[in-house]
Amino acid sequence: MHRRVEILSMNLASMIILIFAAFTTAIFLLLDFLLMYLSAIIFMQNPRLEDVSNDEKELVPDFKLPIISILLPVYREEITLPYLIESIANSDYPKDKLDIRILVEHDDHPTIKTIMSLPYKAGQTDDSGIKYNLFGLPKTIRVWRGIDIQIDYIYLNPPGARTKPNSLNKGLSNARGSIVTIYDAEDRPEPDQLRKVAVYMLKHPEVACAQARLSCYNSDQSLLTKLFSIEYIEHFLILLPALYSLKKVVLLGGTSNFIRIEVIRNLKGWKTDNVTEDADLGVRLARLGYNVVPINSTTWEEATPKLYPWIRQRTRWNKGFLYTWSKHFKNPMRLIHDIGFSSTLFLFYYLIAPLTYFISIIGWILFIAYWINFVGILSTEPLAGWIQDAYTANSLVFYASILSFIFGIVYDPFVAAEALFKQGDSYSLKKVKYVFLMPFYLYLQILPSILAIIELFIKPKHWRKTYHGFSVKTNEEEEHPYDKYI
């Protein structure tokens, strides 16, 4: 009764603060509970990526391997494209079973110029390595190891619809493989990745899609790339295996996912209005009951070493997550019917992460104002007084919010350290000292989350391109243990 009287006697500002604090604290506490549940699974069951041993991989003769269509959507990738093509050429997969298709816009002259230079980089001394179409554009090029690559041109319809799924659907229409995969321009897949995944999918016909690991070959380039690489290790070694073992939705990465062509065609390709077509595809596969497995083969890619391109990249990702959320949660009961209640709950929290970062801004302002006033550094009245009144009226909310804050500060470094020790190589172990910075790295998401929410309303289909090639010079000058994948 006394607490009810205190609440009723509060002024409007304190009442708003209390309602906001109670609502957001409840959201974060439920998220903390889900993370604790995942952590229990991780440490009790130790879920792992699916794997194919070297012996299993070599037991399947070349003639039994399926044709794989490799879609390479590129736009202004004149720096990184040669490294990708050479990496694919170095694959141990039979070259007559490769259907490699570069997807390029017809007016992307810098990239087309690079495409035309590839046969010469591969050792061709004349123009015989290029075949042209009626418009004088290259339609086929021959590169390293005599591999032929098809060039599919993207004509934007409507003009300005410059999105990756638009390119992928064009490539899918021409693909002739029974398995389709995607590589981004900065990717460098392991030489045995194609064979390993093909053998796994031959052995497991019930699997519709296999997602390979992504990791960073320039992880030591800056502090940002160190934290980026820790995030990737945590995601692909800890989170995805746990979600897979629990039969939850596995959100795909934008690259190195291998999909049976009849499945992706049954889904009518990728959604062209979504800037994270990979996340959307993962949800659509789950809703139709298709099996998606994370597999232990790595594609090395470039982590953005500078803050501005990182913000551009995360803005697109966050906007895509929110867009995917808005589409699939239009009818939550139908979604629950398709994937189950617990999967829906996990998916909900994963996709609304940008919103949770956004609402945490107000919480941080209140938190900082309260403690600045509490220690007497300076006065933050009248805000501090309103906060004090709100928390005095309901101290449970205050202590619950403190508990949630402490949990986040402890949980992120703890799981990051577990991921690094699980990987166990020297390049991972020397990053353990950076795990205490992971909470601050995650809160960098606040700015791209704000931009994503704004863009979701004013230009939801706008594609913020991530620029690549920042690490090319570094990798040419310094020896790196992953240079063998170049």
Over the stretch 440-456, which tens digit does the pLDDT of each residue have?
998 899 999 999 999 99
Task: Identify whether residues 384 and 284 lie together within a single domain.
Answer: no
Task: Identify whether residues 271 and 414 lie together within a single domain.
Answer: no
Task: Identify whether residues 394 and 462 lie together within a single domain.
Answer: yes
Indicate whether 59 belongs to any domain: yes
In which domain, by residue range, is 173 found? 54-304
Query: Taking the model in full, what pTM does it have?
Result: 0.90
Pairing of strands 207-216, 291-301: parallel
Indicate whether 371 belongs to any domain: yes
pLDDT tens digits, 28-40 = 899 889 988 988 8
Task: Identify whether residues 272 and 126 lie together within a single domain.
Answer: yes
Indicate whether 123 belongs to any domain: yes
Contacts of 439 (CB under 8 A, 6+ apart): 408, 409, 412, 413
Contacts of 68 (CB under 8 A, 6+ apart): 93, 97, 98, 99, 177, 178, 179, 180, 181, 194, 198, 258
Q: List 260's β-bridge partners, or say none.
A: 179
Q: What is the CATH number of the domain that holds 232?
A: 3.90.550.10
Share of the chain above pLDDT 90, in %: 64
CA distances, 49 to each of 23, 212, 226, 241, 466 (Å): 37, 9, 23, 6, 28
φ, ψ dihedrals at 265, nearest 5°: -75, -35
The pLDDT of residue 478 is above 50: no
Task: Identify whether residues 241 and 284 lie together within a single domain.
Answer: yes
Task: Identify whether residues 293 and 356 lie together within a single domain.
Answer: no
The pLDDT of residue 375 is above 80: no
Place of tokens 């390993």: 196
The pLDDT of residue 63 is above 60: yes
Count of domains for the chain = 2
The pLDDT of residue 270 is above 90: yes
What is the widest separation between alpha-carbon atoms in the chain?
Answer: 90
3 state SS for 369-417: HHHHHHHCCCCCCCHHHHHHHHHHHCHHHHHHHHHHHHHHHHHHHHHHH
Cβ pair 147, 92 in contact under 8 A: no
Task: Identify whether residues 14 and 105 lie together within a single domain.
Answer: no
Q: Helix, strand or coil for residue 341?
A: helix
pLDDT tens digits, 333-350 = 999 999 999 999 999 999
Cα(309)–Cα(314) distance, integer angstroms: 9
